[in-house]
């Protein structure tokens, strides 16, 4: 390959966040990166433009990583492209399946990005040759299933090295646990003597923690949109359902000035107190009060006139203030928009967040364009700002990924398609009823255990001039 030719990496990964993180890291390393959400789409991409290396998840819809790898290796035009499989699984059968499919390397999730890049560079610097001898197919029986493997020496060596490295790390962890167990046994007598006292202290601490969590939840709820907020010409409706005592979601809407209204939904990675605290911190920081530290509104030093910060600039400033390295490796996604009540133009930005839904009056709902990295993931990035012209009767919906990614008992997602269908069914209902319909559809889908993630929905409808409504 000429030195000035950029290498092409193809990622097959159904997790949007994991795909974005890996895409960003490979791009920084100088690769031209293509991303597909499943094996079938990735195979089509590879046939359109042959990549230099393929990194594929194993568990994907439509076509698994194994089937995708097998299809690549059976394609005469693609068979020399090295394929690296990623999986959270640790069963020995995974390795045999990888060999059976023709994989060249295997890395277990969670993985270190630098290690993964090193493995990719190793594959590209020492290409795997088809060194299997004709007629040299081996039959391997494991867990009651027989797999047929062409024993390419380099391929087998790469997979075994990957497996050995994983096994070494697991063995180290086992040794650490054994050392801790030995120490625990030595102190068991002392612990037993203090057990009753510790149990009493633990019960007291649990009660105190429960009270603190309830108080924190009340504080979090108090920061949500104000009751009875009147914004002439607009109707708002929202639902906010934490999956635990504290939520990593946050939403709000409010007037920036007499002409402009802001609305947003924030979704912090993870669950629990740390995620909730970051969500509240972001919600409190995003305020409409003009000051030297305000993100949304600033006072001009000369004229003292209020100036509205663009959505893209707000996202960029949040990304600067909340790098994940200083937030316990937490990041968050955000959809933020500013609506001009005189022109009905909505300007918005989507920072790693699910796309905003626009439902024109008497027309089917659609996803608005807009994409970008989550806040805190990558330093010094610019965000694209989008705009949509709304008409009287039009609606827009902001929401967290707890809606389309809600799972039923079969671990099937609620999906974007089902979400749009439910909103279409409630198009002629009042906005509040439409939002309630979507929430109840998610709850029914997740029955009997309920959603496993926070669910946030914020709807806005443009009304005729002079209409005043704000609903919860």
pLDDT confidence band for 376 (50 / 70 / 90): confident
Per-residue pLDDT tens digits for 399-425: 999 999 999 988 899 999 999 999 999
Q: Do 155 and 241 sit in the same domain of this protein? A: no
More confident: 186 or 158: 186
Burial code (b: 16+ CB inside 10 Å, e: under 16) for 271-300 equals beebbbbbbbebbeebbbebeeebbbbbee
Same domain, 311 and 454: yes
Q: Which residue bears the tokens 């097959």?
A: 12
The percent of residues in the chain predicted with pLDDT above 90, rounded, is: 35
Least confident of 55-69, 260-274, 339-353, 385-399: 260-274
What CATH number corresponds to the domain at position 64? 3.40.50.2300
Predicted confidence at residue 467, as pLDDT, reads 42
117 in a structural domain: yes
Q: Once rounded to an integer, what is the mean pLDDT over residues 301-326?
A: 85
CA dist., res. 438 & res. 440, Å (int): 6
12 and 149 part of one domain: yes
Q: How many CA atoms lie within 13 A of 58 on its CB side?
A: 21
CATH no. for residue 445?
A: 3.60.40.10
Residue 212 in tokens: 């603190």
Tokens, residue 315 = 């996202």
Task: Identify whether residues 450 and 309 lie together within a single domain.
Answer: yes
What's the pLDDT score for residue 330? 85
> CA angle, corner 135, sides to 129 and 141, nearest 5?
95
User: Are 86 and 99 contacting, i.e. CB atoms less than 8 angstroms apart?
Assistant: no
Q: How far apart are CA 377 and CA 371, in angstroms?
A: 14
Query: Could you read off the pLDDT of 41-53 as tens digits, one per residue?
Result: 999 999 999 999 9
Question: From the centroid of its chain, how far is CA 441?
Answer: 22
**Structural domain for 152, as ranges:** 8-170
351 shares its domain with 444? yes
Q: Does residue 206 sit within a domain?
A: no
Return the pLDDT at 201. Answer: 76
Q: Are 138 and 266 found together in one domain?
A: no
State the pLDDT at residue 279: 80
Does 416 reside within a domain?
Answer: yes
pLDDT band at 168 (very low <50, low <70, confident <90, very high): low
Residues 157 and 258 occupy one common structural domain: no
Give yes or no for a contact between 398 and 423, defined as CB atoms under 8 angstroms apart.
Answer: no
pLDDT of residue 300: 72
Task: Evaluate whether residue 53 is within a structural domain.
Answer: yes
Q: What is the pLDDT of residues 175-200, one digit of tens each?
A: 877 888 888 787 776 767 777 776 77
pLDDT tens digit string along 237-249? 999 888 776 677 8
Residues 437 and 425: beta-carbon distance below 8 Å: yes
Flag whether pLDDT at 153 surpasses 80.
Answer: no
Contact 440, 449 (CB under 8 A): no
Asked, for residue 166, whether it belongs to a domain, the answer is yes
Q: Which residues pair with 55 in a beta bridge?
A: 11, 84
Do 165 and 231 lie in one domain? The reply is no
- Residue 332 makes CB contacts below 8 A (sequence gap 6+) with 248, 266, 267, 268, 269, 278, 279, 282, 322, 374, 375, 376
Residues 166 and 227 in one domain: no
User: What is the number of H-type helices and E-type strands within the chain?
Assistant: 11, 19
Retrieve residue 354's tokens: 């699910």
Q: What is the pTM of this model?
A: 0.55
Please report whether residue 356 resides in a domain: yes
pLDDT at position 219 over 60: yes
Per-residue pLDDT band for 31 (boundaries 50, 70, 90) equals very high
By the 8 A CB rule, do 261 and 254 touch?
yes
In angstroms, what is the C-alpha Rg of the chain?
Answer: 26
Which has the closest alpha carbon to 341: 468, 155, 171, 189? 468
Confidence at 325, pLDDT banded by 50, 70, 90: confident
Domain boundary among 138, 170, 202: 170
Q: Residue 445: is its pLDDT beyond 60? A: yes
Residue 127, token pair as written in the block: 């290409």
The average pLDDT across 328-342 equals 90
Same domain, 344 and 255: yes
Please, are residues 385 and 444 in contact by the beta-carbon 8 Å criterion? no
Is 125 inside any structural domain?
Answer: yes
327, 395: one domain:
yes
Q: Does residue 344 come out as left (phi exceeding 0), alpha (psi in the -120 to 50 range) or beta? A: left
pLDDT band at 154 (very low <50, low <70, confident <90, very high): low
Please give the Cα distance from 308 to 304 (Å, whole number). Answer: 13
Q: What are phi and psi for residue 234, nearest 5 degrees?
A: -130, 150
- Averaged confidence pLDDT in the chain: 81
- In the chain, how many domains are there? 2
Per-residue pLDDT band for 288 (boundaries 50, 70, 90) equals low
Q: Is residue 175 part of a domain?
A: no
Cα dihedral 315, 319, 321, 323 in deg (nearest 10)? 160
Are 124 and 260 members of one domain?
no
């Amino acid at each position: 390959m000429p030195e000035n030719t950029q290498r092409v990496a193809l990622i097959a990964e159904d997790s949007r966040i994991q795909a974005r993180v890996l895409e960003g890291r490979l791009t920084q390393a100088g690769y031209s990166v293509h991303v597909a959400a499943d094996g079938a789409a990735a195979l089509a991409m590879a046939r359109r433009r042959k990549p230099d290396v393929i990194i594929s998840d194993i568990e994907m819809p439509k076509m698994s990583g194994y089937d995708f790898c097998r299809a690549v290796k059976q394609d005469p035009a693609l068979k020399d492209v090295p394929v690296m499989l990623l999986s959270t699984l640790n069963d020995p059968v995974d390795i045999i399946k990888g060999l059976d499919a023709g994989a060249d390397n295997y890395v277990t999730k969670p993985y270190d990005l630098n290690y993964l890049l090193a493995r990719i560079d190793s594959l590209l610097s020492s290409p795997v040759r088809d060194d299997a001898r004709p007629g040299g197919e081996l039959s391997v029986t494991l867990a009651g299933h027989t797999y047929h493997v062409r024993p390419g020496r380099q391929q087998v060596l790469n997979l075994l090295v990957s497996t050995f490295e994983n096994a070494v790390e697991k063995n180290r962890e086992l040794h650490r646990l054994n050392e801790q167990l030995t120490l625990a046994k030595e102190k068991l007598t002392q612990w037993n003597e203090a057990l009753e006292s510790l149990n009493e202290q633990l019960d007291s601490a649990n009660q105190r923690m429960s009270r603190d969590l309830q108080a924190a939840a009340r504080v979090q709820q108090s920061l949500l949109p104000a009751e009875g907020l009147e914004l002439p010409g607009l109707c708002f409706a929202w639902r906010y359902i934490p999956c635990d005592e504290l939520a990593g979601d946050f939403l709000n809407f409010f007037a920036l000035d007499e002409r402009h209204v802001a609305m947003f939904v924030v979704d912090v990675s993870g669950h629990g107190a740390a995620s909730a605290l970051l969500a509240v911190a972001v919600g409190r920081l995003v305020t409409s009060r003009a000051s030297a530290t305000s993100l949304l509104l600033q006072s001009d030093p000369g004229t003292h006139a209020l100036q509205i910060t663009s959505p893209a600039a707000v996202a960029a400033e949040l990304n600067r203030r909340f790098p994940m390295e200083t937030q316990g490796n937490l990041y968050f996604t955000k959809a933020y928009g500013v609506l001009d009540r005189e022109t009905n133009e909505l300007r918005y930005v989507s920072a790693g967040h699910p796309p905003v839904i626009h439902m024109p009056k008497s027309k089917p709902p659609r996803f608005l364009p807009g994409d970008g990295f989550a806040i805190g993931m990558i330093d010094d990035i610019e965000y694209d700002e989008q705009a949509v012209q709304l008409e009287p009767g039009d609606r827009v919906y902001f929401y967290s990924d707890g809606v389309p990614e809600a799972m039923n008992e079969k671990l099937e997602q609620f999906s974007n398609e089902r979400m749009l269908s439910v909103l279409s069914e409630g198009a002629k209902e009042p906005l509040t009823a439409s939002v309630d319909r979507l929430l109840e559809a998610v709850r029914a889908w997740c029955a009997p255990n309920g959603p496993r993630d926070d669910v946030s929905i914020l709807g806005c409808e443009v009304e005729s001039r002079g209409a005043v409504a704000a609903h919860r």
